Amino acid sequence: GEQVEQRPPHLSVREGDSAVIICTYTDPNSYYFFWYKQEPGAGLQLLMKVFSSTEINEGQGFTVLLNKKDKQLSLNLTAAHPGDSAVYFCAVTEMNTGGLSGKLTFGEGTQVTVIS
C-alpha cells in the first residue's frame, strides 16, 4: 500500500526566514495531496489541497509544490512568524473511481518551531 515519508521530523526556523518540509510517496496512483497544520490541543486544520493537475499552489505565507515525477510534495513556509509554530502533516489519497474512500495516508509529521 501507499507509504508516505516526511522530512524533517523537527525544524527550527528564525522569524522571517523560510523553511521547507518534504514528503515522498510511493503509489503512482496517488492523486490528491493535502497539507494539514496541528496546533497544540487542536484538531487538524487543512492548509491546502493539491490535485494531480496542479503543480504549484500559493497560500497565505506558504507555497506547495507537487513533483509527480519524483513523487514529492513540499511545503515551503515563507517569512515564518510565531503563529506558524505547529506540527505539519502531509497526507495523500488515491483517485477512487468508486468515490467511496476518503482514506488518507499521512506522513509522520514535522514539528516546526519559529524562533523570534
Lookup: cell for 35: 497539507
Rounded to a whole number of angstroms, the minimum distance from the CB of residue 15 to another protein is 27
Residues within window 8-47 making contact with another protein, judged by CB under 8 A:
32, 36, 41-44, 46
Phi and psi torsions of 82, nearest 5°: -55, -30
Residues of this chain, 77-116, that bind another protein according to CB under 8 A: 89, 93, 95-96, 99-109
CA distances 34 to 11, 44, 51, 82, Å, are 19, 11, 9, 22
Tell me which residues touch another protein (CB under 8 A): 4, 6, 32, 36, 41-44, 46, 49, 89, 93, 95-96, 99-109
